Chain A
């Protein structure tokens, strides 16, 4: 690795950043350089490593390899405090404000103005007011409780906090996601002012239009590494950007499609399904042996649709039928009894009993089968679980170890094994390969396809368009709670899907 060239305007340089989590290489050699006073946009699909990268930048994660240079000096961002000291402020997607404290208290949280241990509250209020005015939001009262502000107001407070620390670099993680059009305009004006004062901004967004509007340069991440850096934001075409985001360096092996037999019965019927404030009028059907994929941005309502079908959320309208029989809304119990299984998005917090043995996680939904009058024959249970783990090639092979010790891919296999054991008729998969390392993905894909071949009706939700297109027979594109496209997977390209999900949401 060579010492980076001294660039007069260079503020931050990251070289070859690697960050590994158990089973996943989240960052695999990322480069990023940011100049003084520029808006540098960071693009990439979900799971490309953007969140991990900004956490490295904020000092929340320590990189396993790589170097960070700050104003020409090599630095070690060993903790959030160290990053803040250098002048790096991060505004997270989930705002880290304390609702019960006032605006001024939040702005100076962690670096309170004090003399001899006593708070200088009035000075803090005055200074906070000045910062808010600089941001063009003098109307926000500094004595107000933050919990009572609108999401946009909180965003401003968060930004004011970054400014109060005299930040040289502000990282904004999808700041426009919670803002309406007018507020986005305000935000851009503030960013323009900041950059004029020499503050650099790293801006993360899914809305390519925004990137064009305020960005100076663009870096694109994919699969944990930089595919392109220092692109000119204004002159690079949207098509090129999308191409950079989707083009694969690693080709996943998707199993061959075997379309369901023409006479295959419809297993799952969803009709007019709605959840207040999230999605409405969702209708689709899945036949035995068919895989239906739902594509869309995070927050478009994909996961909510799955969870509502499953009964984990109570539908406000519409119906779900399995084999023609209508399910009671809002009851997971009846959905499972009817033969639906869900592999949830948050596998660790929603899907698994992490400290429990593998076999217990597998049998949890079908343990009555091993019980006589309520008494469990744990021997049969282990044998049955062992058989399934063997057929799924779960590694390591024992069924008595805690699930926590398994890698992401093997954990996902355990979840699938659960529904395999139950012989479920409908399988709902929410982000089935999140946190699963590249090698294990193909195995999961093959497994899902083989389940379909055995007659299971499958619904897959994924942020990775390629995954939806590669795996599904039928694709539904969801945008802002609405199905905007439906058709066979072979008849639409990744590019077209991205256009559908992103273009529509541009401000």
Chain B
């Protein structure tokens, strides 16, 4: 590893991005930005995950060489990963902040149903499908707000508050849709979201944008820093002057908005809104976040790990289908992967220090 680093320019707070060729001895404790990126972000601490993912791809290649190593197939994997991926990124924030959200799947269902009711769709026909999109986002944010207020100000344990939201949001979705599958009629919606941009599906681009935005938000903003602080030690964060209540509310609104985005994406994937959308997404998302290396008790989280976690599960199901294996075998493999990933994770986490 090339460990060149910028000299400690205390007088120059901005510093320069360029790496000077010389290394001065006193700078040894300041790492190269790339090394820092590796350790502070995903790849370094997620070495175990990268290995697991690589191994999975190898199995895919060995068992179905032409069909697995195929641009179309990779796009399919990414497209299938995109919806749960966006939900998991929201979940990464709330878990890093010391909470949990069991209602993500239900919020997704409610957003999709509300956005595809005849009223919304008719409105969209007359005006624009933007109405459907903003409806989904608003419903997601609204549910998140309720969760956040209950947790932060109502002092309801996150597990319970979001469990209640899980039940009522899905129930409301069933009432609104009369338990029917609501097919999207507004053509503009499908035209936009089901399209490809130079061979890359719009859904995959959305996932990538959310992931990048999530990474920046978590690692490069005061919001992200406060999330780590609140999740790491809420009392210390409070005594340090952070408005922990307001921050908690914002975390749940954020995950709600992610569910709204995911709802739009799932609506595009299936061309429907349904109260059965997102069933058990909460468990898939939590699994992806946790094998990604985010601490379930809060204070440590990585977006890169979460993305890898989602990709591992999606690729797993792809590889199994390639080999015509049953859902049950897939479930077994999923369990084994969770355990192996978490064990590897601990091994590597112990070696390198915390953020």
Contacts and interface: CB of A to CB of B under 8 A. Distances in A.
**Genuine A/B complex:** yes
Interface of A: 310, 312, 332-333, 335-337, 342, 344, 349-357, 360, 363-365, 367-368, 371, 374-380, 382-384, 386-387, 397-398, 400-402, 404-405, 418
A402 B353 contact: yes
Identify which of B220, B221, B223, B239 gathers the most chain A CB atoms within 10 Å of its CB: B239
Contacts of A357: 354-355
B229 A353 contact: yes
B225 A350 contact: no
B221 A418 contact: no
Contacts of B222: 367-368, 371, 374, 376
Given A371-B221, A376-B221, A353 B300 contact: no
Q: Which 10 A-B pairs have the closest CB atoms?
A: A336-B241, A353-B232, A380-B13, A355-B354, A398-B29, A402-B354, A364-B240, A365-B240, A374-B221, A371-B222
Nearest to A405: B353
16 contacts: A310-B239, A312-B238, A333-B242, A336-B240, A337-B241, A349-B236, A353-B228, A353-B299, A355-B232, A363-B225, A364-B225, A371-B221, A374-B221, A379-B13, A382-B30, A401-B353
Given A365-B240, A365-B241, 5 more contacts: A371-B222, A378-B220, A386-B8, A386-B10, A418-B240
Given A379-B15, A401-B353, A333 B239 contact: no
A309 B104 CA distance: 40
Nearest to B12: A383
A344 B228 CA distance: 20
Nearest to B31: A400
A333 B354 contact: no
Contacts of B353: 401-402, 405
A375 B354 CA distance: 22
A418 B236 CA distance: 12
A355 B299 contact: yes
Given A332-B241, A337-B241, A349 B220 contact: no
Nearest to A370: B222
B236 A353 contact: yes
Range, interface on chain B: 35 or more
A344 B236 CA distance: 9
A376 B29 CA distance: 21
Contacts of B235: 349-350
A327 to B, nearest CB: 13
Contacts of B232: 353-356
B302 to A, nearest CB: 14
A374 B223 contact: yes
A397 B30 CA distance: 11
Contacts of A400: 29, 31
A78 to B, nearest CB: 27
A354 B9 CA distance: 28
Contacts of A367: 222, 225-226
Nearest to A337: B241
Contacts of A344: 239
B239 A356 contact: no
Interface in B325-355: 353-355
Contacts of B75: none
Interface in B1-23: 8-10, 13-15
Given A353-B232, A355-B355, A371-B221, A364 B239 contact: no
A376 B232 CA distance: 19
Contacts of B221: 371, 374-376
Contacts of A363: 225
Identify which of A354, A356, A365, A402 gathers the most chain B CB atoms within 10 Å of its CB: A356
Contacts of A349: 233, 235-236
Contacts of B354: 355-357, 402, 404
A340 to B, nearest CB: 9
A364 B237 contact: yes
A383 B13 contact: yes
A420 to B, nearest CB: 14
Nearest to A367: B222
B233 A354 contact: yes
B243 interface: yes
A355 B236 CA distance: 12
Contacts of B30: 382
A397 B28 CA distance: 12
Contacts of A387: 10
A312 B239 contact: yes
Given A353-B229, A355-B299, A356-B355, A364 B242 contact: yes
Contact of B239 (A332, A355, A380, A405): A332
A215 B216 CA distance: 65
Identify which of B9, B233, B240, B242 gathers the most chain A CB atoms within 10 Å of its CB: B240
A401 B355 CA distance: 8
B20 to A, nearest CB: 15
Nearest to B10: A383
A389 to B, nearest CB: 11
A374 B236 CA distance: 21
Nearest to A347: B236
A383 B237 CA distance: 22
B243 A351 contact: no
A478 B9 CA distance: 49
A342 B225 contact: no
A360 B239 contact: no
A365 B221 CA distance: 14
Nearest to B353: A402
A354 B353 CA distance: 12
Nearest to A349: B235
A387 B235 CA distance: 27
B236 A350 contact: yes
Nearest to A379: B15
A132 to B, nearest CB: 38
A17 to B, nearest CB: 33
Given A376-B220, A386-B10, A352 B239 contact: no
Interface in B210-231: 216, 220-226, 228-229
A374 B9 CA distance: 24
A360 B228 CA distance: 10
B222 to A, nearest CB: 5
A310 B243 CA distance: 14
B10 A333 contact: no
B251 to A, nearest CB: 15
Interface string B236-258: 11111111000000000000000
Contacts of A375: 216, 220-221
A117 to B, nearest CB: 34
